[in-house]
Structure 1
Amino acid sequence: MNGMDFWMLISRLIVIFYTAFLFVSADRLYTPYAVLFLLLYLSLGIAVCMIRPPAWRRGITLLALALTVWLSVRGHPAFLFLLPPAIFAVLAEYPVHRYMFCLFVFLPFLFIPYGDLPAYTVITLFCLAIFVLAARSNDRLKKYEEQSDSMRSSIEKLTKQLHSSTEYIKQSEYTGKLEERNRLSQAIHDKIGHSMTGALIQMEAAKRMLSSHPEKAADLLQNAITISKEGIEDIRITLKNMKPPAEQMGIHRLRTFIDEFSAKNGLPVPFTYRGDLDRLTQMHWRVIQENVTEALTNTMKYADATQISIDIHVLNKAVKAEVKDNGNGAVRFKKGLGMLGMEERAAVLRGTVIFDGTAGFSVTTLLPIE
């Protein structure tokens, strides 16, 4: 049952009670037939609310209207009061130009006795008000349903695009790995493989000439040693070029962690860095990331902050990593295992950690740079 059916049924019930009262108070001889028709009229109204196929609904409403008109003409005049709900029920099933067809509900004014005209006018206006309010409410509900369906369709489309993007990223990463493996294999084959093969050939030749031409064999061995050294140097250069710098590894890991933390907790986390990051070693980055992680965790637990900022500044003799929030702060605080752990990690590199709770809370890690 939708909103329109509910309010139309309510208007029918009210009019039915009023009509039944008229029969009971004015014409007791006709009361049994009136009760029979009123029950039939109410049953048809309930049936419309329970049936879904539009053709059946329209047929039942037209049947109720036809019976009401027939009984109004051939039966008791009080049945005229049932015409407005029946007409509006038909209009509810034919929504095209429904407000224009509402004029038909005023046609019975030409045939109603003058004494019943005020009551019929009140009933008509009452049903009209309910019909207009129910129609607007139903139209608004349909509009919201269409918007909901549109949003659901958009969400499904975005979800599919997200899955496609995720698969594309995975495929791109896998393709990149394959390309890097192919490049490494080709570099080993072109440079190192040829060098090792040349050295091996000269060592085999030196082995054969060792007894008959020892000086020539020594020259071949020296050439093989030189070629082997060059091959080893090529290996070292190739591996060095493959290994990313500590600065790229450290800043990339830290930035990835900060982005994940911000997205997970819904907090903006501005991240800035200054200075020559190439001077930082893997140990520096490890201590910085673990201390930043611990500081962010403590902020989410205790600070009740709405914003967190992270700043890394490489100075001449040290690096400073600061995590600051705009939370409650604490002038006096007791160092727990997390704070003690941050100090211990910094002490390994002869560094220190400064805690300040005067304006929000900040954790500053200072590490010396050799």
Structure 2
Amino acid sequence: MKETTRVFAIYKVIALAISLVFMQQYSKETVFITGSALAFLCIFIIMYALDLKCNGWKRESLKGKWLGKVNLFLILLLEGVLLGLGIEEWQPIFIVLGIELISYLTEEHDFYGLSVAGFIVMLGIYPGSINLVLINILVLITLLITINDSKKLSFYKILNRDQREQLIHLEEQIKDNERLIKTIKYSAVLEERNRLSARLHDKIGHSISSSIIMLEAAMLQMKKDQEKALISMQKATAHLREGVDDIRKALREERPIRSDLGSSDIQLLLDEANAKYELHTIYRTEGDLEQVNLELWQCIKENVGELLTNVLKHSKASAFTVEIKVMTAMVKVSYYDNGVCKGKLIKGLGLEAVEERTIKCNGKCFFEMNEMGFKVINIFLIS
């Protein structure tokens, strides 16, 4: 509530200045005016210091806050003194102190109604001159508006702080998730290596070990019985041939499908853009992706990365789409976003790199701008 405390301190000084001006107009004694001003200023400074000392203290609750109770006592004391003096020129100070008292003792939803009601009661007791009444009304209205704005400011400061803490927490969660993903990937690699090594050991290791034993037996039989030695060598050769076939079969089965490998790389790029920059990404494919060779997959992947960077830097797009359509003799790749396109197309380094990369893969590159966004189309011929 530092904002509200500051508002009341400022308005106390303003009210004091107004009261002194009116007292001078009615020819009050200079000594009395000066002494009163210094006394009020000293008390206002003490009250402001006490309120700041109660940092974070809510005005709705005084329980256990002795500093707040001291401040409340000073307000009541000043209000009593002003009532006892009965000088109508002190009314602006009386109004500000009264509103501060109400803010201490009432709930927020009752504050404004009670402030206006208290002001009306005060006018009934001390009507005062018309000029003073108008000044008091102005002080009341501006003070209530300023208090309302200060409460909103406090609310938004707290909201901003909470959102900042939530953002930090979410960033930490993202980092934890990234570390978890890396751990899972590493564990998956280790598990795959372990499975492959176990398969090679179980199916191929035994075949090679038995072949070695047969060859050693053939070496011992070479001098005594060449026919048995030859039979042993033939069996060993057959076992080794089977082992080589098993190795080729295992590697063929373990090798990832080319289309899955290339497609997953593109999907990974789009997912990262979605997670980091909140860019809605869409990936669609059609046709037999196995007809796309590795060189072409690499070209498409690099173009996706280049165009994603272009979208994030130069476009206000909220969505980015990649479509791969494989036909009988060609592959059509479309990249498009829903960004704002103005003026004539000027190819920067990024778009030139996309075009050059496409041409190197014996493809054609087309650019299109319209009210729907920006679109790039690659056409590749396949044999």
For the superposition of Structure 1 and Structure 2, which TM-score range results when normalised by the shorter chain? 0.7 to 0.9
Aligned residue number for residue 144 of structure 1 = 156
Aligned residue number for residue 368 of structure 1 = 382
TM (norm. structure 2) is 0.76
Corresponding position: 1:59 with 2:70 = yes
**Per-residue deviation, 1:78:** 4.0
Note the alpha carbon deviations across 1:217-255, whole angstroms, 9 max, x for none: 111111111111111111111112221011111112233
Map of 1:1-370 to 2, 5 A cutoff? 2-28=2-28, 30-51=29-50, 52-54=52-54, 55-56=66-67, 58-60=69-71, 62-63=73-74, 65-67=76-78, 69-70=80-81, 72-73=83-84, 78-79=89-90, 82-96=93-107, 98-99=111-112, 102=115, 103=117, 112=126, 116=128, 118=130, 121-122=133-134, 124-260=136-272, 270-290=282-302, 309-323=321-335, 327=341, 338=353, 341-342=356-357, 344-346=359-361, 351-355=362-366, 362-369=376-383
Query: Residues 309, 134 of structure 1: CA spacing in aligned structure 2 closer, same or farther, 3 A cutoff?
Result: closer
The alignment yields a C-alpha RMSD, in angstroms, of: 3.9
**Contact 1:270-1:308 within 8 A present in 2 as well:** yes
User: 2:125, 2:219 → 1: CA distance?
Assistant: 131
**Contact 2:320-2:335 within 8 A present in 1 as well:** yes
User: 1:62, 1:249 → 2: CA distance?
Assistant: 77
Query: Residues 61, 288 of structure 1: CA spacing in aligned structure 2 closer, same or farther, 3 A cutoff?
Result: closer
**Per-residue deviation, 1:143:** 3.1
Query: Residues 110, 306 of structure 1: CA spacing in aligned structure 2 closer, same or farther, 3 A cutoff?
Result: closer
**Per-residue deviation, 1:162:** 2.1
**Per-residue deviation, 1:101:** 5.5
User: 1:332, 1:136 → 2: CA distance?
Assistant: 52
Moved more, 327-336 or 69-78: 327-336
Unaligned runs of 5+ in 1: none
Query: Residues 303, 13 of structure 1: CA spacing in aligned structure 2 closer, same or farther, 3 A cutoff?
Result: closer
TM (norm. structure 1) is 0.79
**Per-residue deviation, 1:79:** 3.9
Q: 2:173 is matched by which residue type in structure 1?
A: Q
User: 2:179, 2:277 → 1: CA distance?
Assistant: 25
User: 1:290, 1:74 → 2: CA distance?
Assistant: 85
**Per-residue deviation, 1:267:** 5.8
User: 2:287, 2:344 → 1: CA distance?
Assistant: 31
- Once the two structures are aligned, what percentage of the paired residues are identical? 23
**Contact 2:4-2:150 within 8 A present in 1 as well:** yes
SS in 2 for 1:273: strand
Query: Residues 334, 33 of structure 1: CA spacing in aligned structure 2 closer, same or farther, 3 A cutoff?
Result: closer
SS in 2 for 1:320: strand
Note the alpha carbon deviations across 1:180-236, whole angstroms, 9 max, x for none: 111112111211111111111111111111111111111111111111111111111
Bigger radius of gyration, 1 or 2?
1
User: 1:72, 1:332 → 2: CA distance?
Assistant: 78
User: 1:220, 1:13 → 2: CA distance?
Assistant: 113
Aligned residues: 362
User: 1:2, 1:228 → 2: CA distance?
Assistant: 86
User: 1:47, 1:211 → 2: CA distance?
Assistant: 117
Q: 1:275 is matched by which residue type in structure 2?
A: G
Note the alpha carbon deviations across 1:245-279, whole angstroms, 9 max, x for none: 11111112233334446667776554332111122
SS in 1 for 2:21: helix
User: 2:201, 2:300 → 1: CA distance?
Assistant: 40
**Contact 2:75-2:97 within 8 A present in 1 as well:** yes
**Contact 2:47-2:74 within 8 A present in 1 as well:** no
